[in-house]
Structure formats: C-alpha cells, structure tokens
Structure 1
C-alpha cells in the first residue's frame, strides 16, 4: 500500500454536516486528512465549540467564514478567529484592500494575544459554484478565470497569505503570482464523481499539478460507503500526481 502520509497536509475534510456526524467522519478519515473545514452552517449553530471539538481530535481547523464587511467589523471578527487557534481563515477578496488588510491585522493580533500561531488568511476569489453567466450577472467583467486573477492580485497586494480558487485557476495564479501564496482549491471531484453544485470542479491530480497546496473534499468522502478508503484513494492520487 502506498504511504500517503505526505499527502495528509494537503487534504481538508469539508465538515458540512451536523457536528456529531462531522466529528465521527473526521475521526474515520484522520489518518489521511490533516484539516477539518468548519464552515458557516457549523459555526452558526455551534460557534467556537465546533472549532474546539475538531481541535480535540487533532485536526488543524480551516475556519471558512468568508468574511465580507466593513474593515473594522472584519478586523474584530478575524481577531476572534485568531484567538481560537485556527490554522486557516477565509475572507472575500471582493471586500477590497482596506478590508483585507484589516483581516490580516486582526487575525495576527488575536492569535498573538492567546499565544497561538497566526492563521493563514485566505482570500476567496470567485466561488467554485459560479459559472461564466453567474460571474457576469454579479457585475464582474471577464470570464471567471479573468475575474479571479484580478481579485487574486488585489488580495496578494493587500498582504493576505493565500487564495481560494478553483483548480482551473491555480496554474495561472502560480504563473502570475509565484510560489508564495498558499493556494486552496475546493471543488475537488475524483474522476467519475458527480459535480453537484460545483461548476468548475476538477480531479485531485489536476489540482496538485496546477499548484494547489490544499484540496478541500466534501461529498466524495461524505457519500462514500467506506469514507476511509475514499480518503485514501484521494490521498494516493495527490501523492502520485
């Protein structure tokens, strides 16, 4: 059997489930998956307790709140997130330079106040659920990849640590922005898997070859008859890509 331990830090479980189910699932796949992504549904229902529950299982927590508000409000929220000891925190790049700078400042100060390592602040460019028509409808000019790269440049210039993009944009981000930004790609679907509501999904191997540092996987693991085997299969693809 392939040793996939090196792939573990490149995989995050999207724990978009009731908390007890998400914790049970993470325990099953933890040998292959290093991060647990706590999103809006879990955080709205359980708040910081959801973060702490996954941390107790040894997970690095990816707090996916996609903050988007005036700079002062985002700074305060990011500081609270940093104080929780999360590893990753998302904000919307479309919030603009001042908001992005405030998020980074808040996250670092909140973490420092509690003695934690500062989380990476990741700016969401264009949601992977959005098609070209959706991008036009909300007022962005250009195709999704063009709009995403424009937002990525803005966010990196504002000092964020990384970016969230579809696997299809990752290669262009690497080419344009270099090796430094931490690239996170949701919308991961193994070959043959249903895409669901993801308009710009790709395989794990595609994402890794394009330059992604972290792959977020949800339904391909949630719906598997054997979640650990499904996670191992994805990890093997990541390892050999």
Structure 2
C-alpha cells in the first residue's frame, strides 16, 4: 500500500489502548506514530503486531547522542521493519551522517531502508523559549532552515518542523525533501502544549508531505469520523 499522508500519533502507554483505537477504523491500513512513551512500555512486540496488521510505522525516538552510539542504535532500528525514524538535528552533521550509515548497514538485502528525518525545533517550542532558555539566537524559522540544510547535507530524507516553516524548508532544500509536520489541529480543537499549529488544510497548502495528528483523532468521541474529516480537508486543499 502507499503510505497515508496522515500519521496518527499513538500517544499511549498501554498496548490495549492502541488496539481500542485502531479497532475503530474497520481494519483500515494506517500510518501510525509510536513514540517514546509507548515504545518504552511495549517494545518491539507491538511494532511486529502493527506490521502484521499492515500498518506503516513512524518510530519517533528522536535519537540524540554521540555519533557512534547513534550509528549503532540506527543499525538496530533498521532491523525492525519500520518505515520512518528520526534524530535531533541539534546532534550535528557527523551524528546525522553516522545515523544514515547505521541505517544502511542494518537494512537487510532486499529490504527498503527506513526513511530518516531530523527534528529541527519541537512544535511545543516558542521562539522566546528557544532564544531565552536554549540560548539559540535568531528567528525560529531561520534556525529551522539552518538545521534542515545540515540534515540534507548529511544525507537525511527530510525534517520534522511546524507547517509554518515548510515553505522555507522546501525553498532551501527542494520539493523532494520530506516535511513531516506535527502541531495539527482541527478548527475548534484545543492547542494543548503545542505552540506553532495549523489545520490539516493549511498544512497541505504550506507544502507538508505528512502531517502527524494526535488528540484531534485519539481524543475524539468518533476517531474514524475525525480521520475522515482530516482526509477530506487534506484532499480538498490541493
């Protein structure tokens, strides 16, 4: 199957919560995000079950460590048959280059290497926090583009950013450089801990390739209806 542009964030800590949600989609093959909370709780067995059901997986562990450690970790992750993994761009060029080396080394012959993207700035990070607490000077969009350029030069497939920065990323790195964008909310939904957010339609208009949607689907009384609304907004925004 082709990958859905809508990635559902499985922001849970228990496996039964995952299946309670996914069973509401009438056996539809989905693109899902497994983050640290869920992966550390359930491990590789959950990934195997998700793949057995035909789902695509974004394993969102945001690796950030010394280059050798990240290379070895990526070599292990490449064996898990996931579709998308990520690192923090703040780890620098060498770390990202070694991440790609690890993925290439760990991918079995005949298998497709997982795509690898770099987190630029979290969508929960405001420019004020970035400047005052992280001591990163400049405008947030300039920092995002700078990190995106380093990620591309390091051989990565794309970045994670807010949809608001996607036009600048695409201008700097090219249209084929992936933009995976969290911070997606339907009109009327609470922003919660996100700062730089858009609707699905706005994200596509801005050039996002994939959107990551969590609570707008998972906290909805009718998750299937919410997903269909997002699909409709996405398709109608072309």
Match of 1:127 in 2: 122
| 2:149 alignment partner in structure 1 | 153
Do structure 1's residue 214 and structure 2's residue 210 form an aligned pair?
yes
Unpaired runs of at least 5, structure 1: none
Q: Distance in 2 between the 1:127 and 1:66 partners?
A: 11
Deviation, structure 1 residue 31: 6.6
* Offset of residue 33 of structure 1: 6.6
Matched, 1:45 2:48: no
Q: What RMSD over aligned residues (CA atoms) do the two structures have, in Å? A: 1.7
Q: TM-score, normalised by structure 1?
A: 0.93
The correspondence of residues 58-207 of structure 1 with structure 2, limited to 5 A, is 58-112=54-108, 115-136=110-131, 137-207=133-203
Shift of 1:32: 6.6
Say whether the 8 Å CA contact 1:88–1:119 is kept in structure 2.
yes
Cα 1:27–1:12 shift into 2, 3 Å: farther
- Offset of 1:56 from its aligned partner? 1.8
| 1:12 alignment partner, one of 7, 10, 16 | 7
TM-score (norm 2): 0.94
Structure 2 residues not aligned, in runs of 5+: none
Shift of 1:183: 0.9
Given that 1:32 and 1:232 are in contact with CA atoms closer than 8 Å, whether structure 2 keeps it comes out as no
Find the residue that maps to 1:22 and give its secondary structure: helix
How far apart, in 2, do the equivalents of 1:120 and 1:64 lie?
12
Q: Distance in 2 between matches of 1:30 and 1:167?
A: 30
